[in-house]
């Protein structure tokens, strides 16, 4: 008797629904062992983490604010991965969007009413252009998109650092930060004494909008078709190169908007630490959501709770705050393992030996 993997004829609906929940549960259990090793009570630590992120109006709004760039980058990765364009560059696209927004938002020559719309357009265009470049290399020269998008992150990061240490550096304070955007360019806040800004609303509108594009438009159908089978899509009349470039542009646009939100709604300038890795976390969120735009919302909120509550948990229990990063990585691993069982199942098989073998 032995276990063997066999391909499923169809994936049960209940498995598709439960898989993200099971991945989260497995992640919390596995990381709970690290909490115990740190000398804390696992249940107390998790209770502190979740309650500190959800128990008050201020905490809840901070969680929503933290979820905003995660929603944008999760949607960006979802669109790209659907077309089999492996965009690992949402981090760099976020940074280019932030830099473009900071530049436009500081232009005194522009009328005040135009600053926010122009910041959104500039950031979206910068992110899209950053994503189109590796997509063009993929479609034209067959260059590996994983490598180009990943390495481009570092090119953009060092270019931004050069700007912050060069022409953008504040000559008075000496801090490596860009000039502040004008007050007219700051996003409106919807709730007094909170940071619930315009970018939060745009992110929560963006998820159903991306779902509509993917499920109800010809572009979405083309992206799905190319992602499922590029050769069959080309045979049916789709221009696969154009579809991949379009998906890359939309993906980069969304990641660029994440950067605009950080500049216009929170920091009002660009600094070296403007993103603690939102672009990379977006990959985990997209996988946890099963590349479903609507699933990105709860996945991003879950990670926002983890990130927001990690500091309080660390102060209350002594568990290192880096546990939030461990949870993110573990969630990706458990989800990938779970995805394997959507295509395969374990079957207990009886092994019969022939007389010659015996």
pTM above 0.85, yes or no: yes
Looking at residue 169, what is its pLDDT? 84
Q: What is the pLDDT of residue 20?
A: 83
Q: Which pLDDT score, from 0 to 100, does residue 326 have?
A: 87
Query: If you write DSSP's letter for every residue of 127-195 in order, what string do you get?
Result: HHHHHHHHHHHHHHH---HHHHHHHHHHHHHHHHHHHHHTTTS-TTT--SBPPPPPGGGSPPBSSTTS-
Q: What is the pLDDT of residue 351?
A: 57
Q: Strands, DSSP E only, in 177-255? A: none
State the pLDDT at residue 204. 95
The pLDDT, as a whole number, for residue 352 is 54
Q: At what angle do helices 218-228 and 198-216 cross, to 10 degrees?
A: 70
* CA 318 distance to own-chain centroid: 29
In whole angstroms, give the CA distance from residue 123 to residue 29.
Answer: 39
Contacts of 72 (CB under 8 A, 6+ apart): 94, 203, 206, 254, 255, 257, 258, 261, 282
Q: Do 223 and 214 touch, CB atoms closer than 8 A?
A: yes
**Which pLDDT does position 91 carry in this prediction?**
96
Question: Residue 103 class from Cβ within 10 Å (0-12 exposed, 13-18 middle, 19+ buried)?
Answer: buried
Residue ranges in the chain whose pLDDT is less than 70 = 1-3, 172-173, 346, 348-358
> Do 319 and 77 touch, CB atoms closer than 8 A?
no
- Condensed to tens digits (0 to 9), the pLDDT of residues 175-213 reads 888 889 999 999 999 988 889 999 999 999 999 999 999
Spatial contact of 199 and 187, defined as CB atoms under 8 Å apart = yes
Domains of the chain with bracketed CATH: 2-349 (1.10.3470)
């Amino acid at each position: 008797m032995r276990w063997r993997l066999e391909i499923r004829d169809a994936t049960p609906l209940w498995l598709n629904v439960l898989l993200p929940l099971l991945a989260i549960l497995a992640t919390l259990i596995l990381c709970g062992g690290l909490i115990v090793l740190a000398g804390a009570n696992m249940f107390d630590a998790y209770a502190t983490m979740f309650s500190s992120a959800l128990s008050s109006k201020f905490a809840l709004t901070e969680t929503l604010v933290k979820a905003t760039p995660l929603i944008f980058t999760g949607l960006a990765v979802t669109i790209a991965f659907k077309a089999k364009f492996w965009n690992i560059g949402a981090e760099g696209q976020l940074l280019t969007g932030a830099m473009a927004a900071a530049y436009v938002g500081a232009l005194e020559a522009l009328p005040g009413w135009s600053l926010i719309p122009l910041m959104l357009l500039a950031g979206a265009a910068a992110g899209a252009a950053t994503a189109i470049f590796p997509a063009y290399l993929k479609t034209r020269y067959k260059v590996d998109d994983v490598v180009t998008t990943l390495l481009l992150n570092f090119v953009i990061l060092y270019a931004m650092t050069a700007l912050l240490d060069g022409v953008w550096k504040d000559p008075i304070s000496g801090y490596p930060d860009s000039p502040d955007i004008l007050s007219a360019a700051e996003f409106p806040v919807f709730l007094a004494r909170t940071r619930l800004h315009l970018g939060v609303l745009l992110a929560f509108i963006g998820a159903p909008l991306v779902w509509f594009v993917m499920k109800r438009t010809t572009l979405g159908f083309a992206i799905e078709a190319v992602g499922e089978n590029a050769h069959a899509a080309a045979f049916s009349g789709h221009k696969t190169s154009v579809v991949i470039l379009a998906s890359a542009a939309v993906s980069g646009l969304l990641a660029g908007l994440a950067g605009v939100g950080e500049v216009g709604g929170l920091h009002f300038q660009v600094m070296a630490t403007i993103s603690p890795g939102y672009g990379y976390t977006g990959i985990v969120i997209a996988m946890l959501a099963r590349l479903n735009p609507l699933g990105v919302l709860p996945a991003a909120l879950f990670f926002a709770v983890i990130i927001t509550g990690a500091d309080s948990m660390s102060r209350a229990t002594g568990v290192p705050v880096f546990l939030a990063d461990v949870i993110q990585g573990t969630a990706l691993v458990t989800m990938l393992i779970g995805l394997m069982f959507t295509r395969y199942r374990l079957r207990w098989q009886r092994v019969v030996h022939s007389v010659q073998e015996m």
